[in-house]
Amino acid sequence: MSIYNIAVIAGDGIGPEVLQEGIKVLNTIAELDGSLHFEYTYFPWGCEYYSQHGVMMDEDGVERLKDFDAIFLGAVGFPGVPDHISLWDLLLKIRKSFDQYINIRPIKLIKGAPCPLKDVNREDIDMLFIRENSEGEYAGAGDWLFKGQANEVVLQTGVFSRKGTERVIRYAFETARKAGKSLTSISKGNALNYSMVFWDQVFEEVAKEFPDVQTASYLVDAAAMLMISDPKRFEVVVTSNLFGDILTDLGAALAGGIGLAAGANINPERNFPSMFEPIHGSAPDIAGKGLANPLAAIWSASQLLDFIGHEKYGQLVLDAIEGLLLEGEVLTPDMKGAASTAEVGDRVSKIVSSLM
Out of ligand ATP, Mg ion, none, what residue 44 binds, judged by CB under 5 to 8 A for its kind, is none
The site for ligand ATP, by CB under 6 A, has a size of 17
| Comparison of 281 and 294: residue with beta carbon closer to Mg ion | 281
Contacts of residue 278, Cβ cutoff 8 Å, sequence gap at least 6? 18, 74, 75, 261, 262, 263, 296, 297, 299, 300
Among 7, 10, 275, 283, binds ligand ATP (CB under 6 A): 283
Is 330 within 8 Å of 298 (Cβ atoms)?
no
What distance in Å separates the CA atoms of residue 282 and residue 74, rounded to the nearest whole number?
8
Q: Are 170 and 142 in contact (CB under 8 A)?
A: no
CA-to-CA distance for 129 and 296, rounded, in angstroms? 16
Write the binding mask 288 to 327 for ligand ATP: x where contact by CB under 6 A, - elsewhere.
Answer: ----xx--x-------------------------------
Q: Which is nearer to ligand ATP, 282 or 340 (CB)?
A: 282
Largest distance between two CA atoms of the chain: 68
Alpha-carbon gap, residue 144 to 148, rounded angstroms: 9
Site string for ligand ATP, 66-85 (x = CB under 6 A): ---------x-x--------
How far apart are alpha carbons 93 and 73 in whole angstroms? 13
Residue pair 102/168 in contact by the 8 Å Cβ criterion: yes
105, 280, 310, 347: which one binds ligand ATP (CB under 6 A): 280
Least spacing, CB of residue 169 vs Mg ion, in Å: 29
Closer CB to ligand ATP, 202 or 261, in the complex: 261
Query: Closest distance between ligand ATP and the C-beta of residue 352, in Å?
Result: 20
Question: Residue 107 interacts with ligand ATP (CB under 6 A)?
Answer: no
CA–CA gap between residue 126 and residue 82 (Å, rounded): 35
Residues at the site binding ligand ATP, with contacts judged by CB under 6 A:
14, 18, 75, 77, 258-259, 280-286, 292-293, 296, 334
